[in-house]
Amino acid sequence: MSDQFDVVVIGGGPAGYPAAIRAAQNGLSVACIDGWKNVDGTYAFGGTCLNAGCIPSKALLESSELLHRAHVEFAEHGISTGTVTMDVAKMQARKTGIVKASTQGILGLFKAAKVTALQGRGRLLPGKRVEFTAADGTVRVLQAGSVILASGSTPTPLKSAPFDCERIVDSWGALEFTSVPQRLGVIGAGVIGLELGSVWRRLGAAVTVLEAMDAFLPMADEAVAKEAQKQFKKQGLDIRLGAKVSAAVVGSTGVAVTYDDAKGSHTVEFDRVVVAIGRRPYTDGLLADGTGIQLDARGFIEVDDECRTGVEGVYAVGDCVRGPMLAHKGKEEGVMVADLIAGHYGHVNYATIPSVIYTAPEMAWVGTTEQQVKASGRAYKVGSFPFLASGRARAMEAAQGFAKVIAAVDDDTILGVHIIGPMAGELIAEAVLAMEYSATTEDLQRTIHAHPTLSEALHEAALAADKRAIDYPNR
Ligand code: FAD
Ligand code: NAD
């Protein structure tokens, strides 16, 4: 096998593997190195997303949501089922099957695209050379025309509650529980805390979420965050804000977590604790001396808007560089860079990256929040439509939440769309496309939406921005 490639990608997660495939589609010779190792010692492409992130978490969210619906919704439909229980081992086996099929699928995609898949560790050397250490310890040095660094991120540890991988775990550990903890503590009310807290709550755990900040979901539009907090409270998620964890002591019966808030110091005992306080870029062992690659103060690889590192022919994409840590953001960066290397047009519109939180109700948004628009001083208008007024949402027994459109008064441009409610993560795609095409609310208003669908909520919210909603009183 040649040790010379047009492109060598280090990292086979959702940023790296699409970069490798697009580079190959562009007629370049490509190798993709990935070192992800599962607990059983096997290597798997797909990175955090496929092995321990997006995919397994969504599998468990789906299973636990079905159980929850069987418990609380079926009776409304007139369905009686007797006692419905969850076989946790079977649920986990289903999840593992989905993960395996997805990660092996990447090998299939690589084969079809003629990407050379290399499982082991990669290290960038000066001169666009990459040292590859295979699983069996053999070392090769590859010469690349261009190198794409896509090494991802890892969970941020908390000094006062260090991982012991048994009682105190990270998000990966929380995806692998083999039984439902009776008392689950979650440190961090961010995306992971809420998604995985929801999973185990629906399966029967008493879940307490300790969040250091006083505000709940500060990155979301305030109206969405407020509605979410209300719904999570109803579901029994005990979210405590302004809670600063100072100690976590592991004993024979559980973990005693001490935290301080405005009311003083408290100690709560949990069977297990998940620490989900954010993730940090992972670059351990990635860069040999003398490569010239710069890291910023937080450890991210420094890049420009087109993911160039400043070292000729070396790019970096995904979680290891600035910007939101999202699989779709990494994917678009990987594809952009692969196109730029081939001399094609490449671009990522960072202003229209959608965010989705896959709880129930789901939350999704794109663009600016109302608070950000207000702070900018630009005159704006807002249209909202509650799912309570959506025939489809009511038929689905999912009439919580709303869709909200924020637009500029001067030229009607859509500035942000915020949805909390059923299938919000799917509905947001229309808003992303609208913003990508610089659409106005009038464009959305004049677009025909099928009836009865959830998408009508976005249509009505756009109409409401000009006080023309039909299915809900305009305010
Ligand atoms: P990674 O997926 O981390 O992949 C990097 C890969 O590079 C890994 O396989 C790593 O082993 C490998 N690697 C690193 N260094 C080397 C080296 N020197 N040599 C060889 N290989 C190396 N995002 C979403 O958009 N939607 C979601 O629903 C979502 N859910 C999530 C749920 C959880 C529980 C978690 C933890 C994350 C979730 N994310 C989600 C975030 C998403 O997983 C990340 O944004 C995404 O995986 C980043 O992709 P990446 O390719 O940059 O890095
Ligand atoms: P996050 O940044 O979403 O949330 C971390 C939370 O922990 C924040 O609310 C923060 O204030 C809080 N926190 C920080 N230090 C704390 C402390 N000492 N005590 C208590 N609370 C503390 O991070 P995350 O939930 O760990 O997720 C990591 C990344 O993974 C996110 O950036 C997200 O983009 C990505 N992710 C995305 C999805 C999705 O797209 N649906 C799902 C899961 C993860």
Instruction: Output the CA–CA distances (angstroms, integers) from residue 270 to 181, 188, 236, 274, 339, in the order listed.
Output: 9, 15, 16, 10, 50
**Distance (Å, whole) CA 432 – CA 134:** 41
Beta carbon of 57 within 6 Å of any ligand 1 atom: yes
**Distance (Å, whole) CA 63 – CA 82:** 18
User: Of the residues 159, 187, 191, which should be mutated to test ligand 2's pocket, given the most ligand atoms within 8 Å of the CB?
Assistant: 191
pLDDT averages per 10-residue partition of the chain, 475 residues = 92 98 98 94 96 98 97 94 95 98 97 98 98 96 98 98 96 98 98 98 98 98 98 97 98 96 97 98 98 98 98 99 98 98 98 98 98 98 98 97 98 98 98 98 98 98 98 87
Among 246, 277, 308, the domain boundary falls at: 277
Say how many Å lie between the CA of residue 237 and the centre of ligand 2: 17
Beta carbon of 221 within 6 Å of any ligand 2 atom: no
Q: Of ligand 2's atoms, which has the minimum distance to the CA of residue 156?
A: 26
Residue 316: per-residue pLDDT:
99
220 neighbors 363 (Cβ within 8 angstroms): yes
Question: Is 228 exposed, middle or buried (CB count within 10 Å of its CB: 0-12, 13-18, 19+)?
Answer: buried
Same domain for 304 and 421? no
245 neighbors 158 (Cβ within 8 angstroms): yes
User: Of the residues 62, 198, 279, which should be mutated to test ligand 2's pocket, given the most ligand atoms within 8 Å of the CB?
Assistant: 279
Same domain for 174 and 243? yes
Residue nearest to atom 11 of ligand 2 (CA): 213
Residue 160 maps to a domain: no
Helix extents (H) in 114-242: 171-175, 191-202, 222-234
Question: Is 437 exposed, middle or buried (CB count within 10 Å of its CB: 0-12, 13-18, 19+)?
Answer: exposed
Q: Among all ligands shown, which has an atom nearest to the Cα of 58?
A: 1
Q: Of ligand 2's atoms, which has the minimum distance to the CA of residue 189?
A: 9
Q: Among all ligands shown, which has an atom nearest to the Cα of 187?
A: 2
Same domain for 340 and 366? no
Same domain for 386 and 444? yes
| pLDDT, averaged across the chain | 97
Same domain for 256 and 336? no
341 neighbors 23 (Cβ within 8 angstroms): yes
Handedness of CA 358, 362, 364, 369 (dihedral sign): negative
Same domain for 85 and 138? yes
443: tokens are: 């464009």
Beta carbon of 191 within 6 Å of any ligand 2 atom: yes
Residue 262: per-residue pLDDT:
96
Amino acid at 4: Q
Residue 50 maps to a domain: yes
Say how many Å lie between the CA of residue 321 and the centre of ligand 2: 17
Residue 1: per-residue pLDDT:
63
Closest to 325 in 3D by CA, of 32, 14, 46, 50: 14
Residue 215 maps to a domain: yes
Bridge partners (DSSP) of residue 118 are 33
Closest to 438 in 3D by CA, of 470, 465, 415: 415
The domain spanning residue 440 has which CATH number? 3.30.390.30
Residue 45 maps to a domain: yes
**Distance (Å, whole) CA 213 – CA 261:** 10
Same domain for 28 and 47? yes
Amino acid at 72: V
Same domain for 19 and 107? yes
Closest to 17 in 3D by CA, of 334, 432, 243, 414: 334
Residue 374: per-residue pLDDT:
98
The domain spanning residue 338 has which CATH number? 3.50.50.60
Same domain for 314 and 261? no
Same domain for 250 and 332? no
Catalytic residues: 451
45 neighbors 12 (Cβ within 8 angstroms): yes
Q: Give the CA dihedral 458, 460, 461, 467, nearest 10 degrees.
A: 160
For the chain, the domain total comes to: 3
Bridge partners (DSSP) of residue 187 are 210, 275
Range of the domain at 38: 4-155+280-348
Residue 475 maps to a domain: no
Residue 163 maps to a domain: no
Beta carbon of 328 within 6 Å of any ligand 2 atom: no
Residue 209 maps to a domain: yes
**Distance (Å, whole) CA 144 – CA 6:** 5
**Distance (Å, whole) CA 109 – CA 16:** 13
DSSP state of 35: -
Q: Of ligand 1's atoms, which has the minimum distance to the CA of residue 122?
A: 19
Residue 394: CB partners within 8 Å, gap ≥ 6? 387, 388
Residue 250: per-residue pLDDT:
97
Among 301, 331, 348, the domain boundary falls at: 348
Helix (H, G, I), strand (E, B) or coil at 71: helix
Residue nearest to atom 28 of ligand 2 (CA): 278
Among 323, 348, 373, the domain boundary falls at: 348
Q: Among all ligands shown, which has an atom nearest to the Cα of 283?
A: 1
| Host H or E run for residue 294 | none
Residue 280: CB partners within 8 Å, gap ≥ 6? 153, 154, 155, 156, 298, 299
User: Of the residues 9, 33, 54, 353, which should be mutated to test ligand 1's pocket, given the most ligand atoms within 8 Å of the CB?
Assistant: 54
Phi, psi angles (nearest 5°) of residue 89:
-60, -40
Residue 40: per-residue pLDDT:
87
Same domain for 273 and 173? yes
Residue 436 maps to a domain: yes
Q: What is the pLDDT of residues 108-149, one digit of tens each?
A: 999 999 999 999 999 999 999 999 999 999 999 999 999 999
Beta carbon of 319 within 6 Å of any ligand 2 atom: no
Residue 474: per-residue pLDDT:
85
Same domain for 222 and 369? no
Residue nearest to atom 9 of ligand 1 (CA): 47
pTM score above 0.85: yes
> Look-up: residue for tokens 């789901």?
362
